[in-house]
A and B are shown apart, each in its own frame.
Chain A
Amino acid sequence: MHFTVALWLAAGVALAWSRARDPGKTRLALAKCWRSFEGILPQFAGVLLLIGTALTVLSPSTISALVGRRTGIPGMLLTSAVGAITLIPGFIAFPLAKTLLDMGAGVQQVAVFISTLMMVGVATAPMEARYFGKKATLLRNTLAYILSFVTASIVGMVAGR
């Protein structure tokens, strides 16, 4: 929340400064800003609708029930798949991860869930591909998925019980 306020303030101050220095350039900046926003808006809207639907079907309670007591590689594969496909905002994801830990999921399973959640975005892939192309998108997400297991193993070693 604080961050969002800071972001709006920064944008407001920058805009005021820009306008004071050069109104023409500022108009150009806003035109560019609107064009790039409107250009990607269909992808954004579609992805957000998809995520809203996915989160409803795969609600936090469903996820907890699915992976709550599982451990080992199958548990990691399951949590990583959930993490890779969905896009859950941090304020839901971290309490959910805490619940998973409390329900008996291993640290590795939870770490791989958090890592894939943040780095891999199957739902946002259409948007990413619009910017960087299909190949780079596929490559980045695949690498991020594999490396999430590396990170999770390290976290498991350090923070594991």
Chain B
Amino acid sequence: MSPLARYRFPIAMAALAAAVALVMPAKAPLLVRNTVANFAEMLSVLPPIFVLLGLMDVWVPREAFVKYMGDGSGVVGALLAIIIGSLAGGPLYAAFPVASMMLRKGASFYNAMVLLGAWSTLKIPMFLFETASLGARFSISRWAANLPVILGMSWLMIRLLGPAERTAIVERQHGLDTQFAAHPEGRTRRSHAGYVGRRQ
């Protein structure tokens, strides 16, 4: 795909933002401020997360993911997913590449869904801020109510998707990985060859 085609979504969104700024000139400074703040948040959280993901991908063997977070990992796997998710920070979109890497490395679909759920609502840094703004009764009851909700929702997800669909989604993560690897430069080709062995 040409760069222009790949970036058609952000280009369209930039055009939309420009249109809004033209229609509501009074709001234009706020729009610029919001957008700059959003990009600043993304650039402050995502680079270290992607670096850590890249390092984990290379250093943590697939067997470890299968053992501790795979299909047979039971309570340990779910607990790990909750711990990783609640220690995390940053918006939910930062969790997508993390869950993707976990699936690629052999974590179970259930645990990947638990991670997304925990990341979205159980984050400790967020919880502290919520307590400060809305009070402990509010934040603690929301945290406690969300824990079973996340486990139940993840269970529902695997039931509703079914085994074939889940396999397809896991396959998709491998596809994403190799798709990104399919650049023509020799460096990336060599690096791709270096981790072929991770697949079964």
Interface positions of A (Cβ within 8 A of B): 2-4, 7-8, 10-12, 14-15, 18, 25-40, 42-53, 55-57, 59, 87, 89-91, 94-95, 97-98, 101, 107, 110-111, 114-115, 118-119, 121, 124, 126-128, 130-133, 135-136, 139-140, 143-144, 147, 150-151, 154-155, 158-159
Across-interface contacts of B35 in A (CB, < 8 A): 48-49, 52-53
Q: What 18 additional pairs, Cβ within 8 angstroms, besides A12-B48, A50-B16, A53-B31?
A: A30-B51, A36-B53, A43-B9, A44-B93, A45-B13, A87-B93, A111-B142, A115-B121, A115-B142, A119-B92, A124-B93, A127-B96, A132-B172, A136-B165, A143-B157, A144-B120, A154-B141, A159-B135
Contact A47 B93 (CB under 8 A): yes
Q: A46-B13, A119-B121 are in contact. Are A39 and B176 (CB under 8 A)?
A: yes
Across-interface contacts of A34 in B (CB, < 8 A): 50, 54
Closest CB of chain B to A96's CB: distance in Å? 9
Contact B31 A56 (CB under 8 A): yes
How many residues of chain B have a CB within 8 Å of chain A? 87
Contact B96 A128 (CB under 8 A): yes
Across-interface contacts of A126 in B (CB, < 8 A): 9
Across-interface contacts of A97 in B (CB, < 8 A): 133-134
What is the interface of chain B mostly: helix, strand, loop, or mixed? helix
Q: Give the complex CA separation of A144 and B24 in angstroms.
A: 34
Contact A7 B89 (CB under 8 A): yes
Closest CB of chain A to B148's CB: distance in Å? 10
